[in-house]
Structure 1
């Protein structure tokens, strides 16, 4: 996702929120609190989200800040990991 493409950033925002919701539902259905407690082979793959030029992206799409903060706080338990880069 480029900081220059607002439509793609909006799609990424929607998709990441949906992914978090789906993973929360999957953990609840399995009766576990975190991704690592799922039996092997039953859950989705871990997801690494790589963002380059974070500052520029947040300047253009400030609502991503709360999403990235949420993923940073709860992502490990959902199998989501962030790699954030900026100059």
Structure 2
């Protein structure tokens, strides 16, 4: 199963899909906005559904993820602008 981090941005949920080395493989909008709290972990189940974990990240950890995501997007040429 893939593990994703969900970050709520202006009412939309943005999913960052990670591989085993914590590299971002995919950034995608989700249709579960409002159902998942900031910092929640979401698992994609074998049948394609979503399961929300009770584990959450601190604000500092969220900021670190945002920083790393921006660096990775820039390195991959995905940066906006």
Fold shared per TM-score above 0.5: no
Pick 1 or 2: higher relative contact order, CA cutoff 8 A, min separation 6: 1
Structure with higher strand content:
2
Higher alpha-carbon Rg: 1
Greater fraction helix: 1
